[in-house]
């Protein structure tokens, strides 16, 4: 009995992962096609299809919100990275200048 429950549990896990992957793909495809303008189609004759469309619409809305919030953060991180790169190059150049100088001054 434990073996059957274990197999059933694993099949349920695989089914949930595949369903999540299909949902994520559908959300990303609709976001890439329509962006923030995605409009779910609600049809009273097909309630399950309408519910699926609403779930996809909610996912698209969530991704659009995350992208909107992430843009300034990514811009700030890119600017900080550029500043760190400039600092590292300046430090490297100053170290190279110090190493190329003669430690024993030639005063002859």
Instruction: Say what the pLDDT of residue 92 is.
Output: 86
Domain count, the chain: 1
pLDDT tens, position by position, 8-25: 999 999 999 999 999 999
Decide if 22 is inside a domain: yes
Is the model's pLDDT at 71 over the cut of 70?
A: yes
DSSP secondary structure code for residue 60 in this structure: H
Domain membership of residue 65 as a residue range: 2-97
Provide DSSP, 32-58. HHHGGG------TT-HHHHHHHHHHHH
pTM: 0.64
Instruction: Say what the pLDDT of residue 63 is.
Output: 93
Decide if 80 is inside a domain: yes
Decide if 102 is inside a domain: no
Decide if 103 is inside a domain: no
Decide if 52 is inside a domain: yes
Decide if 66 is inside a domain: yes
Decide if 108 is inside a domain: no
Decide if 51 is inside a domain: yes
């Amino acid at each position: 009995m434990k073996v059957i429950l274990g197999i059933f549990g694993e099949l349920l896990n695989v089914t949930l992962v595949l369903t999540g992957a299909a949902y994520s793909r559908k959300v990303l495809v609709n976001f890439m096609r329509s962006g923030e303008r995605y409009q779910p189609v609600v049809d009273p004759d097909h309630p399950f299809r309408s519910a699926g469309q609403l779930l996809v619409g909610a996912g698209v809305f969530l991704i659009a919100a995350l992208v909107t919030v992430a843009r300034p953060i990514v811009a700030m991180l890119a600017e900080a990275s550029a500043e760190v790169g400039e600092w590292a190059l300046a430090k490297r150049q100053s170290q190279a200048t110090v190493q190329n100088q003669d430690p024993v001054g030639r005063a002859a």
